[in-house]
Amino acid sequence: MTPIPIPEPPRLPFIGNIADIDAENSIRSFRSLAHRYGEIYRLSLPGASLVFVSTRELVNDACDETRFKKVPNNVLKEIKAGLGDGLFTANLEAPSWGIAHRVLMPAFGPVGIRNMFDEMKDIATQLALKWARQGPHKRICATQDFTRLTLDAIALCSMGFRFNSFYSEKMHPFPDSMTEFLLETGRRSQRLPLPGFFYKTQDAEFQAHINVMRETAEQVLKERIADTDNQRKDLLAAMLKGRDPVTGEKLSDQSIIDNLITFLVAGHETTSGTLSYAMYRLIANPEDYRKVQQEVDQVIGKGPVTAQHMTKLPYISAVLRETLRLDSPIPIMGVCAIEDTLLAGKYPVRKGEFVNCFLSMSHLDPAVFEDPLVFKPERMLDENFNKLPKNSWKPFGNGARACIGRPFAWQEAVLVLAMLFQNFNFVLADADYELAHKQTLTMKPDNFYIRAMLRDGLDPVQLGHRLAGTEVPSIKRKVPVADVTLTSRTQWKHMTVLYGSNSGTCENMAQRLAMDAVSHGYRVSTLDCMDAAVEKLPKDQPIVIITASYEGQPPDNAAHFVSWINSLESNQALRGLQYAVFGCGHHDWAQTFHRIPKLVNRRLEDLGATKIADIGLADAAGEDMFVSFETWEDDVLWPTLDALRAAEGGESPQEMKPAPLKVQVSSMRSSLQKNDVEEGKILATRILTADGEPVKKHVEIRLPPGVHYRPGDYLTVLPVNPKNTVQRAMRRFGLSWDSTIVIEGAGTRLPTNELVPAESILSGFVELAQPATRRTILALAEAATSKVDRDALKNLASDGYDAEVVTKRVSILDLLETYTSIELPLGSFLTMLPQMRVRQYSISSSPLENPSISSISFSLISGHASSGRGEYFGVASTYLGGLEPEDRLRVSVRPSHAAFHLPSTPEKTSLILVAAGTGIAPFRGFIQDRAVMMESGRKVAPAVLYHGCREKGKDDLYADELAEWEKLGVVTVKRAFSRKPEESGGAKYVQDLLWADRGHFLSMWRNGAQLYVCGSRKVSKGVEKVIKSIRQEDAKSRGEDLSDEDVQKWWDESRNVRYATDVFD
């Protein structure tokens, strides 16, 4: 076979490809280059040539130890300055490596690892008790605590030294020096080739950190040598007493110190990363989480975890294997060519050239792993794991230089997961957290916070007994402090409010319900996400659950709750519970409309709970959801709960009102300082449409540090209200432009008990344009001093509500301006308003172009207000439309549905992209992604874009860019022009274009193309209708009779398999 040249990015003089690598996150740069150039590429750095391979086939060939050997790369050479000739950094030929390896191998055998179990468990117990004592609402930085755990465990087990990291906020200096040392080694390996004096300060700090590590190890060694009575049989004892069976030599003190530091560095970093990633993956995948917990409950039960359990937890082992496949803490394994050779018989590699096996990519090889980006522990159960092709899973390295501490790390990880999942339930502290990676020597999740809630009704004392295997005191129900009296005859009754919410709507409703509860004599004892209530539903108070569905799936913070209730089998499991459910949804998703709230409502009843009120359902396509919720509250929920109070002998409180927010106004200036890490910056803006056309804009944004995305994902934006709307509110309440206020009260997300500008609150914290609800209109009627206004408002809240308020989107502010006799305090006004919500836009760029920059494409919404009060301005589009380069804004990235991403085999899988208007946004990102690949020399399968526009040259968005990409062969673009269909072959809309081109569509579909649709619901339905007609016509041409029911079934079964949609209004 003729050798194939290895692709290389363009180089710069002297520095080669250094500019292509992010010094803070080189792995992200390497991954981006792999997407650009494919399975192999070469980088040139000062003094080194590096080849990166990203498929199982190439990694397998590089693992041939007759042709490739492990040689410390640039980073390991820098690490060697601190670790010396330890097992991790010494050359294979170095005598010290061979002696240490042979002396220590027995210590890492089954007996040696088993003997370390009790001390491992001691440290794991410290972690569990810390989390228990901190309580269920504590934000826990999982990576930090797992690092404390693994560092303390390796220090205690290997050398009998206690860092006691869980007993002090300020840790021993060794961990801090070690962290700084590792960070600097990465930076040093990517330095520009400048004279040494340029790095004098950094070098001095680097050496100081090395001194701390070596002095600590030396102190441990000296203390052990001095302690002649010490009978420990740990790694330090093995190094002091053991002799090499080949040479008969003992390890030198220098070699012992080198390896002590090596154990501390390498022996904790990877395991803490693995545990952190495993925790994230399990929380993100409730069904797998439940299987882990079920395995632990069946194997270990309620007793202490023992060494005998370690081999009886196959599912936890599978979870760890799958975690290491997706998130290997060591993402690269480096080898060096012994002689000139051909990788996989086709790519020439020179003698002495480094070959980096890029495990972060080869572990995702679609030729080996089906759905490679999906977390599937079942594929890693022993039988399946043993069938994997050779060298397709390499997190512990290869051959003679594979990780010697693998058995230690495995026992520790299994023990910790078993202990934690036996005794705790977990939720994300930030429900919208998306996995981000932090790179030092290894990879770990960044800013990963969780909450830990004890199971089985345990308290920390009882947990301590369980972990120790001593008798657990009987669990006594805690008696609450005496209820606070409302009046001489009425007492508070407790209730629980739970929500499942991604966008914040259901959470907002839950907060509103908690505030309303006061006026009915109820105190909300628990207001939390549904996941926090797993195994903890109270039976002594009513429970109200408010949740949505997302394409038939539960919200992120309700998935574990749904998995839990589905796993319960006894029809008496929840007997004694009293509950009510309210659900949100959109009727256009007919198959999954309200699926989750209905499932929860039915399932709780099936499990023996008592439904105290009929389910309430809101349809986002119909009446405003807040209106539907308040109607359900007033007409169904509160009458039921009031009757429940009366039935239990309580008296309903009379004429109680929720305590309004108190607002003090001042004319002093102040400002709110916002140092938000999720702050982005506008880089460029441009209008995409011609003059006279409805404005559509393109905005480019520099993302916050550490934020990454894939083509097809969303950018969420936290907007501010339009300036003219804010000015209207300030005029109505007599506020000057520099007025400041102090808000006093509870149960609000507004900043309280501090001086803040009134304009800041009205701009960024509340939704001023939200349509008024029936209840708020009635409250305004009570506050009106004019009978005419009062009667008019009461009519609006009843007969005129749908036509005059909902249809015209009349806000509270509109009503305050119309009915001037309303005397409403500012605090009451703020109480009526929902908090500002984020808006979501499809990202219209590819990270291959620049991973730190994303763009969005949107329509500017404005026009005459239906309410009759001036102009209407869309909140988010007006905000974004007014931003200029260098302006700052609050953003984050949210993933789209898993199916709405590019296929993992771009060379093989064709794309059919269908969009109208700004629905082209994600497809610009798709096409740009493939364009970058092609410009880098990579081949991609054909793609066709069908785009619905109004008129050529007017709103055919990104026409010039798409024309250039067409020339490159990246995509074929076909447009429908609704104003001039004669210019698009008679096709007026994009679905007409699809029908006219159905022969091409069918050809691509039969060859395995993936279909993506983005646009309004009307577009989506139109495309669906056309494609079903194409399918029926095709079947008829082949003599088949495909009924409407049959074709609908085919379409439904193809969803998120062969096609994916992203629909907006």
- Catalytic residue ranges: 270, 396, 403
Interaxial angle between packed helices 406-423 and 142-159, expressed in degrees from 0 to 180 and rounded to the nearest 10 = 130
Rounded-to-integer distance, Cα 366 and Cα 539, Å: 49
Q: Residue 23 is encoded by which pair of tokens?
A: 């010094």
Contact of 379 with 363, CB cutoff 8 Å? no
Q: Which DSSP state fits 633?
A: I
Q: Residue 663 is encoded by which pair of tokens?
A: 């607002």
Maximum Cα interatomic distance, the chain, rounded to a whole number of Å: 105
Which residue type occupies 466? R
Cβ neighbours of 22 (radius 10 Å): 16
Contact of 988 with 976, CB cutoff 8 Å? yes
Nearest residue to 325 via CA among 400, 367, 383, 380: 380
- Strand ranges inside 537-611, DSSP E: 542-548, 578-585, 610-611
Coil, strand or helix at 307: helix
Rounded-to-integer distance, Cα 616 and Cα 581, Å: 6
Residue 449: φ, ψ to 5°: -115, 140
Half-sphere exposure of 211 (CA within 13 A, CB side): 6
Q: Residue 1007 is encoded by which pair of tokens?
A: 């060859």
Rounded-to-integer distance, Cα 171 and Cα 673, Å: 31
Cβ within 8 Å of residue 448, ≥6 positions away = 141, 142, 143, 276, 279, 280, 433, 435, 436
Rounded-to-integer distance, Cα 819 and Cα 122, Å: 69
Rounded-to-integer distance, Cα 648 and Cα 645, Å: 5
Rounded-to-integer distance, Cα 267 and Cα 330, Å: 12
Residue 917: φ, ψ to 5°: 60, -135
Burial class (CB in 10 A: 0-12, 13-18, 19+), 14: exposed
* Pairing relationship of beta strands 888-894 and 679-687 according to DSSP bridges: antiparallel
Cβ neighbours of 668 (radius 10 Å): 9
Burial class (CB in 10 A: 0-12, 13-18, 19+), 406: middle
Nearest residue to 1043 via CA among 1053, 1055, 1031, 1057: 1031
Q: Where are the alpha helices (DSSP H) in 312-405?
A: 314-326, 359-362, 382-385
Burial class (CB in 10 A: 0-12, 13-18, 19+), 772: buried
Nearest residue to 364 via CA among 334, 399, 398, 328: 328
